[in-house]
Structure 1
Amino acid sequence: MVSDQDRLSSVFAALADPTRRAILARLSAGEATVTELAEPFSMSLPAISKHLKVLERAGLISRGRNAQWRPCRIEAEPLGEASVWLERYRQLWEHSFDRLADHLREIQAEGEPR
């Protein structure tokens, strides 16, 4: 079984590539075949298949079977897990920015004539 940390690493590694992010964006509109997913890219079907394998290993997509048609679909759960992880840090960044804004207001107030 894959640990949560390993899965999160796989998700972020998969999301690091702009082609894979574009594939996920396309799949967010609905299922598509490998050929349909390859259309906007100037790369071979085997190259697209490699990207799909990375996304599949990360749990970000799944592939079905409907006769000869093998549709790919997005899987939202790993994206949710990544979002939860990022949310913890967003709160930290916002707190840091709030402290910086307070500090800048203090500096501006000190520089104003009385």
Structure 2
Amino acid sequence: MNVMVEQLPRTGKLQFDLRVSADVNFSATAARRRVGRFVADEISYLMRGGEPDMVIADRIYWRVPVLLTLPGHGSIGTVGDIDVNIETGQLRVTPELIAEIQQRATDLTASQPSN
């Protein structure tokens, strides 16, 4: 598991003391499954959730990559990420994020050699 911290300064002194408290009610596996169900039902049955990373931001999230698969090719790449709140299981999804994922999937599919 990787832990990412968002919004660190680019230059200057950095002192980093980490003390985080949250109830982990949704595991990485549960987050991946939740994202997988969402993308399959709402975006494309050719998408699934990948291996999550923990992100510490305004809240603590599992960041789950959205993977595009093609029959006969398997996973061909990541087309976005969906954050899942570790306490509530709520997905951070907006219409704009869905549109971005759809566009990346279209672009990635177009770049694949045809058989």
Higher relative contact order (CA 8 A, sep 6+): 1
Identify, as 1 or 2, the structure richer in helix. 1
Identify, as 1 or 2, the structure richer in strand. 2
TM-score (ref. length: structure 2): 0.28
Q: Computing the radius of gyration over CA atoms, which structure comes out larger, 1 or 2?
A: 1
TM-score (ref. length: structure 1): 0.28
